[in-house]
């Protein structure tokens, strides 16, 4: 008898005996969870790579390297360098191009470089922040989707009692257990997504601050170079 109860209340058995609506909810939450984990690993590797490349470029930039030589190396990388390196390349390329025009002074060249760096900065930030909104959506919506599946399952469980002369806990327990799986799956999908979203948002914000500080400091360097020319 106990073996039959264990078999009836096993996870696979409860999922297979749940109503079609609850099964669809579980399937949707499972898909959202799997895609979230894929994004978590993918975005984690991308952000760690961006941090590592930013640190390497900052060390090279502030070590006193020649800007022209640094620009040549960044250009030869064909966009395979880090985000900060691409910001530097865009700004210095625009500065050199505008500086060669006789009708423009150094201030105009510096402002053009700042606009080029800002545009590249926005593209890099969009790429770093890509798909983070999906993690936020999964983290905020999944518990409610799971709760919907649970409520629907409990409604079906109590509806089944209408055909029973004497209702006992044994009649309603399997249906409630099946329904509660939806809530558990909703939390399983939401918690990692929320944790990853908060962590990655913090890391991206810190990178954004480093990029903005670099652009300000590099603009000052270009201004001094323009004044000295």
Q: What is the pLDDT of residues 26-46, one digit of tens each?
A: 899 999 999 999 999 999 999
Q: Residue 178 above 60 pLDDT? A: yes
Looking at per-residue pLDDT, the higher value among 107 and 217 belongs to 217
Instruction: Compute the half-sphere exposure of residue 28: CA atoms within 13 Å on the CB side of its CA.
Output: 18
Looking at per-residue pLDDT, the higher value among 182 and 40 belongs to 40
Q: Please name the residue ranges forming H helices in the chain.
A: 2-8, 11-17, 20-61, 67-76, 83-99, 106-128, 132-160, 169-228
Token pair belonging to 202: 């913090």
This prediction's pTM: 0.81
With cut-offs at 50, 70 and 90, classify the pLDDT of residue 180: confident
Listed residue (151, 193, 189, 181) closest to 23, CA to CA: 181
What was the pLDDT predicted at 1?
39
CA distance linking residue 79 with residue 95, whole number of Å: 18
Mean pLDDT of the chain: 84
Looking at per-residue pLDDT, the higher value among 205 and 79 belongs to 205
- For residue 225, CA distances in Å to 67, 98, 154, 220, 229 come to 11, 14, 73, 9, 6
């Amino acid at each position: 008898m106990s073996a039959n109860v264990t078999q009836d209340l096993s996870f696979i058995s409860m999922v297979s005996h749940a109503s079609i609506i609850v099964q669809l909810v579980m399937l949707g939450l499972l898909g959202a969870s799997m895609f979230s984990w894929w994004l978590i690993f993918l975005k984690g590797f991308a952000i760690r790579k961006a941090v590592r490349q930013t640190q390497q470029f900052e060390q090279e930039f502030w070590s006193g390297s020649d800007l022209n030589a640094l620009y040549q190396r960044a250009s030869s990388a064909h966009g395979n360098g880090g985000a900060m390196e691409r910001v530097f390349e865009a700004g210095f390329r625009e500065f050199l191009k505008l500086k060669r025009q006789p009708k423009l002074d150094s201030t105009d060249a510096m402002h053009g470089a700042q606009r080029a760096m800002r545009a590249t900065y926005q593209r890099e930030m969009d790429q770093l922040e890509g798909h983070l909104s999906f993690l936020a959506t999964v983290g905020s919506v999944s518990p409610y989707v799971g709760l919907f599946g649970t409520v629907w399952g409990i409604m079906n469980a109590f509806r089944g009692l209408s055909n029973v002369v004497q209702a006992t806990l044994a009649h309603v327990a399997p249906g409630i257990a099946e329904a509660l799986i939806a809530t558990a799956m909703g939390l399983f999908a939401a918690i990692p997504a929320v944790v990853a979203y908060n962590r990655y948002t913090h890391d991206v914000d810190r990178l954004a601050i480093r990029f903005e500080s670099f652009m300000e400091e590099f603009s000052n360097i270009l201004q001094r170079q323009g004044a000295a020319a």
